[in-house]
A = this chain, B = another copy of it.
């Protein structure tokens, strides 16, 4: 994932968890459309979410980070299904 996307994600997330503003949630939604356009997989999004939280909650339990590794594995099949979708779309174009 390009570094500027990672940085931008962290900024919006940080903003959102500070004040749970609907505006930030909406920015996030718009931003997430770019993820799909840039063919960033859902497991990569979980990875960047984990990395952002590690900065925001440096004291959190190691077990919490392990739970994210588990979640990343859960998302791999979704990522594969999506790749298949993108290749079907390309064939139809």
Contact = CB atoms under 8 A, between A and B. Distances in A.
Contacts of A53: 64, 67
Interface residues of A, number: 43
A57 B46 contact: no
A42 B78 contact: yes
Interface of A: 12-13, 16-18, 20, 25, 28-29, 31-33, 35-36, 42, 45-46, 49, 52-53, 56-57, 60-61, 63-64, 66-67, 69-71, 73-78, 81-82, 84-85, 88-89
Copies of this chain, complex-wide, total: 2
Given A82-B78, A84-B85, A63 B56 contact: yes
Contacts of A32: 73-78
